Each structure stands twice: as C-alpha cells, then as structure tokens.
Structure 1
Amino acid sequence: MSNPHVIPFSTTLHVRDTCLCLHVQRAARALARRFDAALRPLGLTNGQFSLMMSLNRPQPAPMGSVATLLDMDRTTLTAALKPLQRRGLVHVVADPKDARSRLLTLTPEGMAVLAAAVPIWTATHAQVDEGLGEGGPQRLRGDLSNIR
C-alpha cells in the first residue's frame, strides 16, 4: 500500500531549483551578512542602517510613514528603534498634533554615525553591483519592485 502523503524527492529538487521565494530569501540573507559585516565597525546592522537612512529627512518622520517605507509593522519598528534609542542615535517623541503618534528623528550622534556609514555602504554596494554585471543591478531592482 502506498502512502499518499509521501512527496517524491524529485519534487524537493524541483522546488529547490525553481522556488523564487527560496532564492530571494537566500540572496537577502547573503546580502544582509555582507552589509552587516561591512557596517560592524560602526556597531550597526544593515537593518539599522536602512532605518536610520529612512529618518534622514528635513522634518521628523511619522512612525507610520517609516513603517510603510520599510514594510514593517509598528511593533517591529518599535523594537528595531530601541537599540538605536539606547545608543542615543534616534530620538522618539510624541507628535504635538496627536499624542498617540510618534515622530522619529536622528540625533546629532545618529547623523554622525550615519555619515560614517554612507561611504561603507557605497563601497559595499558598488562591489555587489559589480558582481551582478552590466545592467544587472537596475534590472534586479526593477524586477524585485514588481513583486508586491
């Protein structure tokens, strides 16, 4: 009697070789490790760099707009902000127009760390782009933005 719940190993190989989600996740983890290593001397992760960069604006950033930009829920964003707040890199205040809302800004120390991180990010990004070949980076960004 055969087991109807047995999936053939050939299916596993097919998923391994063709699953876009798997390949994007693997690439994302590899990129995250690369940028984490590059930013480690500043005590930042790639996620913290992205979060701080999203706060680099002329006016304080509403938490909702930052969460939307980073495609995070507010709870995850709040947790991500905590270590940056503890280091004195980010300031979170109640919105004077709506005390339930929060406004996020980089502190002067945060701006200094971000300014030191940008050349590291730029050099690392150039290496990644170079590895993708001519036209690869722009095409990849375009293709990924089509997935929503």
Structure 2
Amino acid sequence: MKPVKIPCYCGSIRQASRIVTQMYDRALKPSGLKITQFGILRLLSARPGLTTGEIAEMLAMDSTTLTRTLKIIQEGGWIAVSRGDDRRERHWHVTAAGQERLQQALPMWKDAQQAFADMMQDVDMDTLTRTVFQLAQRAAQQAPAAD
C-alpha cells in the first residue's frame, strides 16, 4: 500500500516514522531485535545503569511502552536490572548475551542506515537529522510535564 499525503504535521511525521521503523525492523529481523530494542541496547551499552525514567526521557518514550519493551528485552536475557537506593528505582544494564546480540545486529543496522541514506541520496541527511532533533527538543519544551 502506498502512503497518502496527510494534511497534518503530526500525522505526516508519524506516517514517515512507521515506514522507516518497518524498514529497520526488516533489516534487523535476522538478529531477533526490533529497532526499538536495538536502540535501547545501544543506549544502555553506552550508558549502563540508567533508570527506567531516564531511558524514557532520553528516548521520549511513553513509560508504559518502555516498560513493556524492557520486559521483552529482559526476558530475552539481553538486559538485567538492579535495585537502586530507593527500592522503587531500577537500574538497567546490558548482559553479556545482550552485548553479543548488539554486536550481531550492528552490521544489519549499518546496512539499514546505508540503504536509507542511498534511498534519500538527494537529501542532506545531516541537516535532516539536525532538524528532526531540533523539532524533538522544541516539542519536548512545549509538552506538559508527565503526571
């Protein structure tokens, strides 16, 4: 099915995001990871010990969706949790199995990155990335605080 032009900024961005997500998910499928799981593993590999709230904030994810995704990754044996000083606080770490899975998926992700760059060869991807990041920053500043 072909996408249709949506006369809504949010709808257009979400439509593009879904299509790009599907492209990356297909590329990562042999690794057993989805792009959201891959992103979380990369984040935790670079910044071990983040709390659920910190991950949600950094990735601009809804906490319910993040909790569900963390549970799937944990059940896969790719991340582990430890308690913080506050019993309710959970700190996440990538396990050895998770590092292996991440290393297995990395070439697939790089191929997806290249395929996307090739597809978008007439677009300045650095500018696009900067613009999307600015959009996310500005929208986050305008968003009301979570309850």
Are 2:117 and 1:108 equivalent residues in the alignment? no
What is the aligned partner in structure 1 of residue 115 from structure 2? 127
- 1:57 Cα shift? 2.5
Instruction: Give TM-score scaled by structure 2 length.
Output: 0.81
Runs of 5+ consecutive residues of structure 1 not aligned to the other structure: 1-14
State whether structure 2 residue 73 is matched by structure 1 residue 73: no
Taking a change above 3 Å as real, the CA distance of residues 67 and 58 of structure 1, as seen in their structure-2 partners, is closer
List, as ranges, runs of 4+ consecutive aligned residues in structure 1 with deviation greater than 6 Å: none
Q: Gapped runs of 5+ residues in structure 2?
A: 140-147
% identical aligned pairs: 29
Conservation of the 8 A alpha-carbon contact between 1:92 and 1:105: yes
Aligned length: 133
Q: Is residue 12 of structure 2 the alignment partner of residue 23 of structure 1?
A: yes
Larger gyration radius, structure 1 or structure 2:
1
DSSP 3-state at the match of 2:61: coil
Letter in 2 for 1:85: Q
Distance 1:38 1:72 in 2: 22
Query: Deviations 1:63-120 (Å, cap 9, x if unpaired)?
Result: 221111111233322111111111111101211x222100000110000000111111
Q: What is the alpha-carbon distance in structure 1 between the residues aligned to residue 63 and residue 38 of structure 2?
A: 18
Distance 2:64 2:8 in 1: 30
